[in-house]
Amino acid sequence: MTNPDPYCAWCGGVIEGTPGPGRPARYCRRSHRQRAYEARRQAERRGLAPDGVVLNRHTWERLRDALYRLEAAATDVALDVGSERATKADYVEALGHLSAAVRDLQEVAVEPTAIRD
């Protein structure tokens, strides 16, 4: 049986492992299983959802804005692809905006950390 989600539930990294019998791994390493456990305990103490995520406002705004630019760029590409009058230059420009929007999103670093007392 293969792992239905090959990404670590803590860091999002790929889980390297040997498929086999038993429960599929949810974490890429033992320390990430521990961090996730600590985060669930902290969430419980603070009355937060066990799978909740807390972001600072700056990170949230950067992520929201980057997603908005990506959505707008993807919409532009879809319109160009659907248009019979779009030129090669239109495609190149739209794909350039899409590529820039992806880079903006990649620069928003969201690293998991457990809330400390």
Q: How far apart are CA 21 and CA 9, in angstroms?
A: 20
Q: Where are the alpha helices (DSSP H) in 1-117?
A: 30-46, 57-82, 88-106
* Closest approach of Zn ion to the CB of residue 34, in Å: 11
Nearer to Zn ion, 10 or 73 (CB): 10
Residue nearest to Zn ion (CB): 8
At how many degrees (to 10) do helices 88-106 and 57-82 cross? Answer: 160
Instruction: Select 30 or 85, whichever has its Cβ closest to Zn ion.
Output: 30
Q: How far is the CB of 47 from Zn ion (least distance, A)?
A: 26
**What are 7's strand-pairing partners?**
14
Q: Which of 40, 37, 17, 42 is nearest to 28 (CA)?
A: 17
Cβ-based nearer residue to Zn ion, 25 or 94: 25
Q: Which is nearer to Zn ion, 10 or 98 (CB)?
A: 10
Report phi then psi at 81, rounded to 5. Answer: -65, -35
CB of 28 to Zn ion, least distance (A): 4
CB of 29 to Zn ion, least distance (A): 6
Residues that bind Zn ion (CB under 5 A): 8, 10-11, 13, 28, 32
